[in-house]
Amino acid sequence: METVAAIPKYNLTEDQEKKLILREYRALLRSLKPKLKPGDKELLRVAFEMAAEAHKTMRRKSGEPYILHPLAVARICSEEIGLGVRSTICALLHDTVEDTDITLEDVEREFSSEIARIVDGLTKISNVIDVNASQQAENFKKILLTLTDDPRVILIKLADRLHNMRTLDSMKREKQLKISSETVYVYAPLAHRMGLYNIKTELEDLAMKYLEPEEYREIARKLSETKRERSRYINEFIKPLKDKLEKGQFDFEIYGRPKSIHSIWNKMRKKGVAFEEVYDLFAIRVILNSAPEKEKEECWKVYSMITDEYLPSPERLRDWLSNPKSNGYEALHTTVMGPQGKWVEVQIRSKRMNEIAEKGLAAHWKYKEGAADESRFDKWFQQIREVLNTQDNDSIDFLQDFKTSFLAEEIYVYTPKGDVKMLPVGSTALDFAFAIHSAIGVQCIGAKVNHKLVPLSHKLRSGDQVEIITSSKQRPNEDWLGIVVTAKAKSKIKDALKEEKRKIADEGKYIVQRKLENFGAAYNQHNIDVLTAFYKYNSSLDLFYQVSVKNIDLKELKEFNLLGDRLEPPRPPKPVAEIKTDTALPRKDAELIIFGESSDRIVYTLANCCKPIPGDDVFGFVSVGKGLTIHRTNCPNAAKLMANYGHRVVKTKWAKNKEISFLTGIRIVGMDDVGVVNKITNLISGELRLNINAITIEAKEGLFEGNIRIYVHDKEELEELVGRLKQLSGIHSVTRYDTENA
């Protein structure tokens, strides 16, 4: 779903539009042809006409007829995800109940209760997620409730998001940032978890195009410049393997595939290397046409042939044949040393595995009959259901827990009897205890990993065998929440802590009851709610607890008024010391100008997490109590802020002002050479006349690393400095860092 605008940005006559819509509809029918059963074509026709009629007066931001959006989403479902006719009908109708006069009853009457249920799920998601929602995390919870009923809801939603990302150009910049952040934060990991690798990759690349436009363009340019040289290398690498596979009489395909821009950028960031130094810009894929019972054996045979030709890196072997991921992914990955001393990643899979890798959940269902593995997804959904049913804590926490718990890669850990448990990467011995049973979790005092005694916080690795040690005297404490990463463990610990709190709060309950009755007020829900609101607690449990531990003594009770036996809060209530967001915010569509003669008279601060300087791409964020804070759009916290609190984001730009200097930092790595420090300081202070605030240089084994804090007026000045430093001989890399984290 998206905001609809009536200003056409393109010129097509009504006739041309009709032809275009019809062409898209026919393409959709063609893609579904192998799946059509008798009567399906008529049902599709009804759905298409129903949607076209319902949306006929609506246009997208680009000015094109709105019906092209549901048609495109339906095609993505059919062609790229591999869903069937019923899902395609749901995709065609996904916006009708929310945006038009069509009701769920109409959908059910025309089609079936199954289709109505899925459309209802999609409507709930749209209502909760795309409309400037401030409650992103709360909404996400609702999505997951729907997801666990019918995973098709989430698959169609991913198709909807993918089409919106492909057509994001006509949106306003702040909307692009918000939608892209949300995509990276929630939808790409979800696509990955559903096994839709192609869609996950495209979502990440498209989001990066808007969130990091310069880096995106730069990597894309370098990829296209090195394309010929890469193709030549791939052919050279593949040739001997092809000969071996043909001799071995395998039915196979082998080809090279470039890595996505987003994953290359991630490598550059994580390893701190330049584009030229990222070794695996592509992966080689071998796809075997094997009989189901021969798949595993043939994949290992091919692995053996490849490693006879090229030496493998022992720690880079990934065996997802014996232990598939919970999203159904199966393959063998290895990294080998190719010609010219380059490391190359090789992925080996059968045709069936390849379809599951590309179509994820949808293909998984196709091959599900009789597969021993069918329970993996169901287990995953079951875990989500469990957590959702027990969750009543803060939704933002929930989203964070969900991401770390359900969208992370897994490790496989064994019980003393050899049963395998799947846990997210980063899980601890305490997570494992809760994974076995909550009763074991709450009594856990330690563990033995591979027969060695370890603390609760010990991080587990794939293949560990874990034995949990318990004691009936053990009680969970607040620190445990920092030890665990799985949502189940977190929610069970919170439950146990709440139980403990409830016992302590019981004492407070009697004190409150006594004080109210002495004052002449009744001990009833109304009066408890009035007191809870007055002392600014979230629940009566918190109020009773605070009274019990003597943090409040209810002496303000005498300021209350009594109406019969009902408490009325004192007038006026205590003033709340916080900035009202409406005074700090300009009009929604206005652009804040910061720093300079023309700057709006608004108090703001520069975020410490990313230290913006003039010229950086920035946005304003209105926070309660702090007013407006300015962040860089690539700040580590930006995606979370924009995805969860989109309504508090303000479009912001810099005004030119050469009077004020800003503290920033650069990190320089180079060869430890005589006079190198002199060269650097001469350039900064002497030639560029910049003020140095602090400088530290450490030399080790022939290399030096220098951190320099300097004052600059804007980003241009910083970029000029970085460019000039890179030209000095012996300098290996120059990067900006945030002075706070230095």
Active-site residue numbers? Answer: 98-99
- Nearest to residue 676, comparing CAs of 708, 653, 650? 708
With beta carbons less than 8 A apart as the criterion, state whether 103 and 365 touch.
no
Burial code (b: 16+ CB inside 10 Å, e: under 16) for 111-145 equals: beeebbbbbbbbbbbbebbbeebebbbbbbbbbbb
Helix (H) or strand (E) holding 549: none
DSSP letter assigned to residue 9: S
Phi, psi of 52 (to 5 degrees): -60, -40
Q: In this structure, what token pair is assigned to residue 357? A: 């890798």
With beta carbons less than 8 A apart as the criterion, state whether 365 and 388 touch.
no
Rounded CA-CA distance 129/399 in Å is: 13
Secondary structure class of 711 (helix, strand, coil): strand
With beta carbons less than 8 A apart as the criterion, state whether 408 and 426 touch.
yes
Secondary structure class of 692 (helix, strand, coil): strand
Task: For residue 18, count other CB atoms closer than 10 A to its CB.
Answer: 13
Burial code (b: 16+ CB inside 10 Å, e: under 16) for 240-260 equals: ebeeebeeeebebebebeebb
Helix (H) or strand (E) holding 562: strand 561-563
Strands 691-700 and 703-712, bridge-based pairing: antiparallel
- Which single residue is written with the structure tokens 């009833």? 524
With beta carbons less than 8 A apart as the criterion, state whether 131 and 139 touch.
no
With beta carbons less than 8 A apart as the criterion, state whether 710 and 684 touch.
yes
Q: Point out which residues pair with 627 in neighbouring strands.
A: 623
- Nearest to residue 708, comparing CAs of 728, 736, 672? 736
- Which single residue is written with the structure tokens 């009959």? 369
- Nearest to residue 570, comparing CAs of 558, 588, 579, 587? 558
With beta carbons less than 8 A apart as the criterion, state whether 650 and 172 touch.
no
Secondary structure class of 36 (helix, strand, coil): coil
Rounded CA-CA distance 357/283 in Å is: 15
Rounded CA-CA distance 594/599 in Å is: 5
Rounded CA-CA distance 528/160 in Å is: 46
For every residue of 455-512, which 3-state class applies, written as one string?
Answer: CCCCECCCCCEEEEEECCCCCCCCCHHHHCCCHHHHHHHHHHHHHHHHHHHHHHHHHH
With beta carbons less than 8 A apart as the criterion, state whether 591 and 653 touch.
yes
Q: In this structure, what token pair is assigned to residue 431? A: 């997570």
Helix intervals (H) in 111-226: 113-129, 136-149, 152-166, 173-182, 188-193, 197-211, 213-225
Strands 627-632 and 604-606, bridge-based pairing: parallel
| Cα angle 15-21-22, degrees, rounded to a multiple of 5 | 90
With beta carbons less than 8 A apart as the criterion, state whether 223 and 216 touch.
no
